[in-house]
Structure 1
Amino acid sequence: MKITRSIFIGLLLMLSSCCPFIEEEHLGNNLYLSEYDNVDRRILYSEEVCSGSGVEIVPMTVLAYAFNSEWIIAKSGNKRTNSNIKYWIIKNKYDVEPTAEIVKSNTLGTLDLEIFSKELKDKGILLELKTIE
């Protein structure tokens, strides 16, 4: 009886959660780091919280990222083979309510490490990428 009650309570909590199968981190301005698993992790623009869908800004798989109120930076590629590595810089501060089109037009990427590093320096972005485990 105790096990059945525990399973029922667990299922109820899972179903009442906002995102039972998706982890999302709000990065600002309707931008989310959306993660289904360690492979399907991307940055999306979505006007709905916990939708699990939206306009893709950084494709999978996001390997590292950092953000503040002005910028989002990200590294994407193949985690297993450490190949197809790309870097991204996304503006995160706007004078108007951003749309997906505005965000996309204010996204630099795909960049290689050399250009990414130069852009960070030129724009005065002091963020450091944090690897996602």
Structure 2
Amino acid sequence: MFTTLSTLLRTKVKTPEATKAAKDISLRRKPVYQSDLDDIEMYFMAAVKEIKKGIGSHYAEQEALSKKVAEKMFNELTKGQDVQRPNITAEQVVDVVLDSVSDMEGATPETLEQLRSGLLGVMQSQGNAHEADE
């Protein structure tokens, strides 16, 4: 429809205003499939918003649970110690972490040992890097 209007204005009316109007009409044309693309984009963005809303609704619960687990680990590690200056080894931290994940599905003795080795390696390399900085 826009193409027909634009063509009629250019061929039948020979004024500068008609030429300008024809150009304006041509600029308003959309490809045939553009409305389908607009619909797809609208539905996609609505789905993304729903996903974000779902993630956000559980974030507070997950944060509270993580805080609770971290506090429990800290209390176990500092039990009977001066909380301001606790003496905690990498092995103790790894053992507390492993204890917290040992009930998870797939936590076999072999996988827990692999995790222990990996965590100890990371923590010890971090400790060595920290000591080198000092």
* Range class of TM-score, shorter chain: under 0.3
Indicate the structure with greater strand content: 1
Instruction: Give the TM-score taking structure 2 as reference length.
Output: 0.27
Using CA pairs under 8 Å that are at least 6 residues apart, name the structure with larger relative contact order, 1 or 2: 1
Q: TM-score, normalised by structure 1?
A: 0.27
